[in-house]
Amino acid sequence: MEPYIYKICPADLWEKAASKGVFKGAGIDLTDGYIHFSTADQVAETADLHFSGLDDLMLVKVKTDALDIKWEASRGGQLFPHLYADLAMDHVVQVIPMPLDEDGLHLFPQEITPRREK
């Protein structure tokens, strides 16, 4: 199991959740009945596929040790982490802004290696 997983979230939605102490999910999460996460190796592709060109996003780093994460096949058969519960803020390690570079691609912290060519 990965020690950390990541959630991409609009900044305004995240701020509201943080003020309440719990994140219940974004639109797709609420529709599907679980919170979608990505690993460090998956999150750049998730950003490119589902958040391309969008600004004002936050990358939420979550520790998994006390969460009941389900690893389920999704994009290309990869196993993705899903949480079938609300996310309490005490599991959040870091919240990182996701600015766009001059090419309109999201910038990531050093631990995330985007797999794309410019």
CATH architecture designation of domain 4-97: Alpha-Beta Barrel (3.20)
Whose CA is closest to 58, among 101, 113, 15? 15
Q: What was the pLDDT predicted at 118? A: 43
Q: What was the pLDDT predicted at 116? A: 53
- What is the separation, in whole angstroms, between the first and last Cα of the chain? 31
Buried b (16+ CB within 10 A) or exposed e, 23-37: bebbeebeeeebbbb
pTM: 0.91
Residues 44-62: tens digit of each pLDDT: 999 999 999 999 999 999 9
Taking the C-alpha atoms of residue 24 and residue 35, their distance in angstroms, rounded to an integer, is 8
Ordered by start, the domain boundaries in the chain are: 4-97
Say what the alpha-carbon torsion angle 107, 109, 110, 116 is, to the nearest 10 degrees.
-30
Q: What was the pLDDT predicted at 42? A: 93
Taking the C-alpha atoms of residue 115 and residue 118, their distance in angstroms, rounded to an integer, is 10
Low-confidence ranges of the chain (pLDDT < 50): 117-118
Whose CA is closest to 35, among 12, 58, 9, 15? 9
Residue type, 12: D
Q: Any idea what the Cα angle at residue 18 is, between residues 12 and 21, rounded to 5°?
A: 145
